[in-house]
Amino acid sequence: MRGLEAVIQVRRSASFQLDLSLQITPGKTFALLGPNGSGKSTTVSVLAGLLALDHGRISLDGTTLDDPDRGVFVPPEVRRIGVVFQDYLLFPHLSVIENVAFGLRSRQVGHAGSLARAAGWIERLGLTGFSDRKPASLSGGQAQRVALARALIIEPELLLLDEPLSALDVTTRIELRRHLAEHLESFAGPRLVITHDPTEAFLLADEIHIIENGRIVQAGTPDDIRLRPRTRYVADLAGSNLVRGVAGGGVIETTGHSLHIADRSVEGPVLATIRPSAITVHLREPEGSPRNTWKTSIDLIEHLGDRVRLRITAPLPLTAEITELATRSLELTEGAHVWVSIKATEIGVEPV
Amino acid sequence: MNDKPRRRSERRPAPVLVTLGGLGLLIFVVPLLGLLARIPWTRLPELLSGEVVTDALRLSLVTSLAATSIAAMLGVPLAWLLARADFPGRAIVRGLVTLPLVLPPVVGGAALLFALGRRGVVGEPLNQATGLVLPFSTLGVVVATTFVAMPFLVITVEGALRNLDQRYEGAAATLGAGRWTVLRRVTLPMIAPSLVAGLVLTWARALGEFGATITFAGNLQGRTQTLPLAVFVALESDRDTAVAVSLVMVVVSLVVLVALRDRWWKAL
Amino acid sequence: MNRLVFGKLVTLAFFPIGVAGCIGTTSTEVLVSAAASLSDAFGDLESAFETANPGFDVVVNLGSSSSLREQILEGAPVDVFASANTSNMDQVWAGGETAGEPATFALNLLQIAVPAGNPAGITGLRDFANEELLIGLCAEEVPCGDFGRQALANAGVTAAIDTNEPDVRALLTKIEAGELDAGITYVTDVLSAGGAVAGVVIPDDVNVVAAYPIVTLTSAPNPDGAAAFVAFVLSEPGQAILASYGFTSP
């Protein structure tokens, strides 16, 4: 199985050209991460067949879906691609079970059979009892799950999720992210998640592709992206510190270190986010300092324009960001010993 | 004082609105009252069972329903083309479609006569080839009423298709639905309220048509004399019958329109 | 929109209403309701009368005698009524609307009207029984329709009618266009249509004579003008005009 191989070139307007390539092997989840307007939705449309390529080639498991130079274009209804759209696009005039069964009915499966299969998927996604409800009466989280069931039931060869969680409130998002990760894992083919949320990309994807103005600016594992952002843009977008640990009583325990946080009530496995610019760097132990202060050393200095990124090592590897000016005035060099300090309130905490 | 200040949504509407709106309502109600005042209630059963009335009622119902069906079968595809297909001269086509709305119906009837009459541009060859004569026939009534009523259907459906979020049709395609299936299971059901409203408007217009019918199809009891024509003719000689037939038209129309209640307003 | 614009729009809305309300009658106007078959003749009578009486402005309201009758009975502000038959005039008289005795001012005979060239080869009333032909009459409630049916009855013909037109003009228009093969109209109508319509004579023994009465009305807004006009119609110049259109003097 060769998964998805796509070389995409599409001109959307006089000023915007989408030009990228993706190879997703079966069993892997890729994330396409970028801000709104960067070309993410166009990528979904092109892969789904709702938009045609200007140049390039799209093939799935060896079958060519779109090849303008050879005059090949497979229409969307023939491609076996499951799409979860950004607004879910559940058919408002059909009930939940009819929505889920829609893809089966269209592929000439019998009516009774398709409803039975749909009922199975409804249960699998924890929506038992919602079969006869109309989409308008569903919450965001429920609608998302119906959309997922609707896409999975047709046993597609590629799964495309366009901003699957962005329409949800924070609590629902965290809960559904967990379920989504499970469903993605159990889907055998290649999967592509489109998102503008770095945390989502880091938690769901095996590989992240950063898209800016229609082009991929960096691709790699989440750690690659996070630790070695190649451009300011990538750094701002994704180069944040993510630390996994266990929280309790206002402290997060990670391997080798404890971080004090502001929220005393959160408990259990968490993901802590620390913006590089929230880490202050000092040559001597700072006085009157926040609880999170420790001695470490710099093992890498990267200059990115007028900012400087410092990679610090044990006990907790993090990336700090300070100005060029500060770097020079502190006469920082690689290998130098420094003190770092982080305010408890600057540490973002999210349960996982 | 028990009065607590009422929330905006609970307050009664402003007096100016009530007054003006009430006057507006009178414009509709007063002629109706005038009609009701003249009804010879005791003679009503006798008047309504006369052949003139039953013939006219039968003709009106048959022709208006036929016109509505034709308008639907031809109008929906036309609306689809106007809303979705990009072809040169689309604005002109849309203008042509709305022409019957602006033309006085008698002018429309005259135009139909010039085109489809026995000596008409299309009618003459048609007559010589098939022997078909449209004027002075029931089919002629259907043609005339379709001409004046179909624009309502095309405009309503075109509007609905334009306002429809086409992404739903895209979603259906990714789920395996071919173009015909998308139309049948997604597009048409999603515009159903507007479609129904359009059909009702079309039917109502067809039912009430007078000028084009009498000019193109003529006036003959049992063959082309629909309810409006019967009223017009009766008004000259037998006012009681005219009033009775008018009442029939009002009742038939009100029954249908009230039965649809709020549903068709939402669609419009 | 801001207050100023809203105020202007409201004022603008009242304007057409005001104008419409101002369109009314003047004291020099004489409103004459005349049967459709009199349209051409009365056009000439109007100009001739106005030339002789510059103080008056005649406005001719044409329609079928029955609808004109209805308008008068419902209170329309008409000065003179010229009907195409006596029965409509009788009803106006019964309604108390006539000021004085109606006078017969013209006579008219019926004639079969056919399209120019008589394509269907109509020779007489007997052809009206032919189902294959497209035959039109005026509606029964209209004088020419009533008389037409009388003539057919006199000739013992059961006609296969295809349409009952609301008035003579509508019937003529369809005959002229060739959409009807034949119809029964007045002699004057066939004449007025010139070459577009041909006439087939109805023998005198079955024909019906239409007597046209004229009267001033009690609720006439301009009784002097009304009386003057009626007098003119009955005078020699008036009768000459009528004769030129095919009417006969009573």
pLDDT, tens digit, for every residue of C29-39?
A: 899 999 887 88
pLDDT at A230 over 80: no
Most confident of A206-215, A231-240, B38-47: A206-215
Q: List every span in chain A annotated with CATH 2.40.50.100.
A: 242-351
Q: d(Cα B229, Cα C159) in Å, to the nearest integer?
A: 21
pLDDT at A139 over 70: yes
Other C-beta atoms closer than 10 Å to the C-beta of C18 total 8
With contacts defined as CB-CB under 8 Å, which chain A residues touch B189? 93-94
Among the residue ranges A225-239, B170-184, C223-237, the one predicted with the least confidence is: A225-239
Residue C115, CA atoms < 13 Å, CB-side half-sphere: 18
Q: Of all residues in chain A, what percent carry a pLDDT higher than 90?
A: 36
Amino acid at B115: A
Which token pair is C5? 């614009």
The pLDDT of residue B61 is 93
Question: Which residues 6+ apart lie within 8 Å of B140 measured at CB?
Answer: B134, B216, B217, B218, B224
Report the DSSP beta bridge partners of residue A246.
A253, A269
pLDDT at A316 over 70: yes
Task: Read off the pLDDT of residues C1-26 as tens digits, 9 standing for 90 and up.
Answer: 678 888 888 788 877 777 666 665 55
Average pLDDT value over all residues in chain A: 88
Q: Cβ separation of B174 and A93 shorter than 8 Å?
A: no
Q: d(Cα C38, Cα C189) in Å, to the nearest integer?
A: 9
The pLDDT of residue B146 is 96
Of B171, B175, B189, which has the smallest distance from its Cβ to A93's Cβ? B189
pLDDT bucket at A178, cuts 50 / 70 / 90: confident
Which token pair is A160? 């495309």
Which token pair is B42? 């005791």
Least Cα separation, residue B52 to chain C (angstroms): 13
pLDDT at A309 over 90: no
Angle (nearest 5°) at CA B152 between B146 and B156: 140
Instruction: Mark whether C and A touch (3+ CB pairs within 8 Å).
Output: no
Nearest partner of A50 among A58, A61, A42, A39, judged by Cα: A42
Mean pLDDT over A8-26 rounds to: 89
Contacts of the segment C225-228: beta carbons below 8 A, 24+ positions apart:
C225/C28, C225/C29, C225/C30, C225/C56, C225/C58, C225/C79, C226/C30, C226/C79, C226/C80, C226/C99, C228/C30, C228/C49, C228/C53, C228/C56
Q: Cβ separation of B113 and C178 shorter than 8 Å?
A: no
Contact between C29 and C57 under an 8 Å Cβ cutoff? The reply is yes
The pLDDT of residue A349 is 85
Q: Cβ separation of B136 and C66 shorter than 8 Å?
A: no
Q: Look up the CATH superfamily of B55-86+104-267.
A: MetI-like (1.10.3720.10)
pLDDT at A310 over 90: no
The pLDDT of residue B32 is 87
Among the residue ranges A182-196, A267-281, A332-346, B1-15, the one predicted with the least confidence is: B1-15
pLDDT bucket at C64, cuts 50 / 70 / 90: confident
Mean pLDDT over A264-272 rounds to: 87
Q: Calculate the alpha carbon distances from A56 to A8, A42, A79, A106, A125 in Å.
A: 5, 15, 17, 30, 37
Q: How far is CA A146 from the centre of its chain?
A: 20
The pLDDT of residue B3 is 60
Other C-beta atoms closer than 10 Å to the C-beta of C137 total 27
Alpha helices in chain A (DSSP H): 40-48, 96-106, 111-124, 140-152, 170-186, 198-204, 222-227, 232-238, 324-330
pLDDT bucket at C60, cuts 50 / 70 / 90: very high
The pLDDT of residue C168 is 83
**Nearest-Cα residue of chain B relative to residue C139:** B233
The pLDDT of residue C15 is 76
pLDDT bucket at A120, cuts 50 / 70 / 90: very high
Please report which helix (H) or strand (E) contains residue B170, including its range. Answer: helix B167-174
Mean pLDDT over C56-61 rounds to: 91
In order along chain B (268 residues), what is the average pLDDT of each group of 10 residues? 63 87 92 86 84 90 95 95 91 93 91 89 89 89 96 95 94 93 93 91 93 91 91 81 87 80 58
Q: How far is CA A213 from the centre of its chain?
A: 18
The pLDDT of residue C63 is 85
With contacts defined as CB-CB under 8 Å, which chain C residues touch B133? 134
With contacts defined as CB-CB under 8 Å, which chain B residues touch A107? 176
Task: Read off the pLDDT of residues C114-156 as tens digits, 9 standing for 90 and up.
Answer: 999 999 999 999 999 999 899 999 988 888 898 999 999 999 9
Q: Cβ separation of C166 and B135 shorter than 8 Å?
A: no
Mean pLDDT over A109-133 rounds to: 89
With contacts defined as CB-CB under 8 Å, which chain A residues touch B192? 93
Mean pLDDT over C192-220 rounds to: 90
The pLDDT of residue B68 is 96
Q: Cβ separation of C163 and B235 shorter than 8 Å?
A: no
Query: Mutate which of A42, A45, A102, A121 to disrupt the B interface (most B C-beta within 10 Å)?
Result: A102
With contacts defined as CB-CB under 8 Å, which chain C residues touch B236? 64, 66-67, 70, 139, 141-142
The pLDDT of residue C23 is 60
The pLDDT of residue A84 is 95
Q: Look at domain A4-90+138-238 and name its CATH class.
A: alpha beta
Mean pLDDT over A297-315 rounds to: 83
Q: Cβ separation of B174 and A50 shorter than 8 Å?
A: yes
pLDDT at C167 over 90: no
What's the predicted TM-score (pTM) here?
Answer: 0.76
Using CB atoms, list chains with 3+ pairs below 8 Å to chain B.
Answer: A, C
Mean pLDDT over C206-225 rounds to: 90
Q: List every span in chain A annotated with CATH 3.40.50.300.
A: 4-90+138-238
Query: Mutate which of C67, C83, C162 to disrupt the B interface (most B C-beta within 10 Å)?
Result: C162
Contact between B148 and B108 under an 8 Å Cβ cutoff? The reply is yes
Instruction: Mark whether A and B touch (3+ CB pairs within 8 Å).
Output: yes
With contacts defined as CB-CB under 8 Å, which chain C residues touch B219? 139, 163-166
Q: Which domains are assigned to chain C?
A: 27-107+212-244 (3.40.190.10), 108-209 (3.40.190.10)
Which positions in chain A have a beta carbon within 8 angstroms of at least one beta carbon in chain B?
45, 48-50, 75-79, 81-83, 85, 87, 89, 91-94, 102-103, 105-107, 150-151, 154
Look up the ipTM and state it.
0.80
Least Cα separation, residue B170 to chain A (angstroms): 7
Residue B253's φ and ψ, nearest 5 degrees, are: -65, -45
Least Cα separation, residue B72 to chain C (angstroms): 29
The pLDDT of residue C26 is 59
To the question of domain A242-351 being in CATH 2.60.40.420, the answer is: no
The pLDDT of residue A74 is 93
Q: Cβ separation of B178 and A48 shorter than 8 Å?
A: no
Of A77, A92, A93, which has the smallest distance from its Cβ to B176's Cβ? A77
The pLDDT of residue A83 is 95
Q: d(Cα C37, Cα C138) in Å, to the nearest integer?
A: 12
pLDDT at C111 over 90: yes
Q: Where are the domains of chain B?
A: 55-86+104-267
